[in-house]
Amino acid sequence: MAATSYIAETLGRRTNRGFFARLRGGDEISYLVTLASTVSILLIVGLIVFELWANSRPTFKAFGFGFLTSSAWDPNADKYGALPFIYGTCVTSFVGMLIAVPLGLAASIFLAEMAPPKLSNFLTFLIELLAAVPSVIYGLIGIFILVPAIRTYLVPPLKAAFGYLPIFEGTFYGLSFLSAGIVLSVMVVPFIISVSREVLMAVPVEQREAALALGATKWETTWDIVLPNASTGIFGSIFLALARALGETMAVTMVIGNAPRISASLLSPGYSIAAVIANEFAEANGDLYISSLIFMALVLFGLTIVINAVARIFIMTTQGKGI
């Protein structure tokens, strides 16, 4: 950056004047205040980790890691197991990503490679607005519009064609893994698109020109040349979206059905980590009950942190900077 002379200037200034002179000029105060704010962010992150860890101790002492593999969830008997919720979180996120990844990738290819810049910018603007829609609104649309629509238009043909598969077994009442997955896909697609589009646009034009000059079609250029070049960043965007999907609470809570059971069928109701916390935390009584919910929050926190950390590194390596 061209700020070197500016920095050298200020550094020189700092060494030339006494501490109190600098204090009077406001220099040290502003330095210390801004530094303290920065450090306080680290403290807040530390506090988050500590609070989650400390408050989930009772459950860890009572059940150990067996908590994660047990599917007993009976607050009356003070028995807790996280497996149905972990299962629900994973299944809904998987369904969501299954839809969101191809859709988002196709859309970002269109926006980065084909659309004229003005149209591309306008459409990206609209897609960013989609990302700004609060999740409770997605839940509202999910309950009253999407779930009935899935019941009428999507499930009958699915059952007719693939009814013999265990994943489409059983009666469909509306609130289910499938509904939650579909709502999730719509919610995370903007994240895939906005990052992937940037990453694709960062691929040098020369690469495309070379491929086209060798006689490749526009699609071949995009698929064989541009995409492989941008693949790390695209994986980054997918991981980013996955972390969002895992932690998404309201929309999932409203359409998943809130039944702690493990079922292979996507048509049956389930539960997710975030949903059980949202539903039961305010009313939870008993230390072990609260502690079990917080333990699951810790699991969710760890999972999203790791996925986000990987995603950010992926994105940084293709872009040269974070987003």
Partner 1 sequence: MMMEISATRRIVNGFMLTLSGVCTVLVVSVLFFILGYLLLHGASSLNWDFFTKLPKPSGETGGGMANAIVGSGKVLLMATVIGVPIGFMAGVYLAEYSGKTFAFAIRYVVDLLNGVPSIVIGIVAYALVVRPMRHFSALAGGTALGIMMIPIAVRTTEEFLRAVPTNIREGAMALGATKATTIFTVVIPAAISGLTSGMMLNLARVAGETAPLLFTALGNQFWSSGWLAPIATLPVMIYNYATAPEDDLHQQAWAAGFVLLTLVLIINVTARLIIASGPAAQRR
Residue 129 CB coordination number (10 Å)? 10
CA–CA separation, 241 and 243 (whole Å):
5
Least spacing, CB of residue 166 vs partner 1, in Å = 29
Least spacing, CB of residue 160 vs partner 1, in Å = 24
Q: Which C-beta is closer to partner 1: that of 168 or that of 297?
A: 297
Q: Are 289 and 80 in contact (CB under 8 A)?
A: yes
CA–CA separation, 322 and 96 (whole Å):
25
Least spacing, CB of residue 79 vs partner 1, in Å = 21
Q: Which C-beta is closer to partner 1: that of 94 or that of 110?
A: 110
Least spacing, CB of residue 203 vs partner 1, in Å = 16
Q: Which C-beta is closer to partner 1: that of 145 or that of 264?
A: 145
Least spacing, CB of residue 177 vs partner 1, in Å = 18
> In Å, what is the CA distance from 97 to each residue of 161, 180, 230, 270, 323?
22, 12, 19, 18, 21
Residue 21 CB coordination number (10 Å)? 11
Q: Which C-beta is closer to partner 1: that of 192 or that of 266?
A: 192
Q: Which C-beta is closer to partner 1: that of 1 or that of 205?
A: 1
**Paired tokens of 189:** 């697609």
Least spacing, CB of residue 59 vs partner 1, in Å = 13
Q: Which C-beta is closer to partner 1: that of 160 or that of 283?
A: 283
